[in-house]
Amino acid sequence: MAACMDCRLYQRLPYPLSVALFLCLGAAQAQSGASIAPPEQIDRAERAIEASHEAGAPALAPDSLALADAALADARALLARRKGKEAERQALRAIRFAELSANQARYIRLKEAVEEKTAQNARLRRELLLGENGEKP
């Protein structure tokens, strides 16, 4: 009897209404983040942060590195809540900040190396070519 009633309900539901219902469900699913951020973006962000560590960012560019770490943590949290698109955006932010910190660290290292070599050359010139008092030995 009940089954027969279901059949009738199904038969009564108009076709356009069922299509609209299907579309609404699909949209709600997408909005809630069912399209999970590709883990590769998170992997990329992790690798970028690792590279910035290798470049010496923890000591030389801690601020940008902290922003990268925070963005990656956000991305992971969002992914856990199945908010894929937002997670992806945060992962990309993490990559950007990680690259910034790596470049900043490289720049500072090179700057220090240039300063050191400049001083070294001046010392060599003084000791080898000019003598201690700035005169030719």
> 34-69 burial by CB neighbour count: b if 16+ within 10 A, else e?
eeebeeebbebbbebbeebbebbbeebbeebbebbb
User: For another protein, which residue of 129, 133, 134, 135 counts as binding (CB under 8 A)?
Assistant: 129
Told to check if 128 binds another protein by CB under 8 A, we report yes
Evaluate the CA torsion angle 59, 60, 62, 68 in order and state its sign. Answer: negative
| Shortest Cβ 26–another protein spacing (Å) | 22
User: For another protein, which residue of 96, 133, 134, 135 counts as binding (CB under 8 A)?
Assistant: 96
| Shortest Cβ 64–another protein spacing (Å) | 8
CB 78 within 8 A of CB 91: no
CA distance 118 to 113: 8
Told to check if 97 binds another protein by CB under 8 A, we report yes
User: For another protein, which residue of 125, 131, 132, 135 counts as binding (CB under 8 A)?
Assistant: 125
CA distance 72 to 46: 8
For another protein, the binding residues (CB under 8 A) are 89, 92-93, 96-97, 99-100, 103-104, 106-107, 110-111, 113-114, 117-118, 120-121, 124-125, 128-129
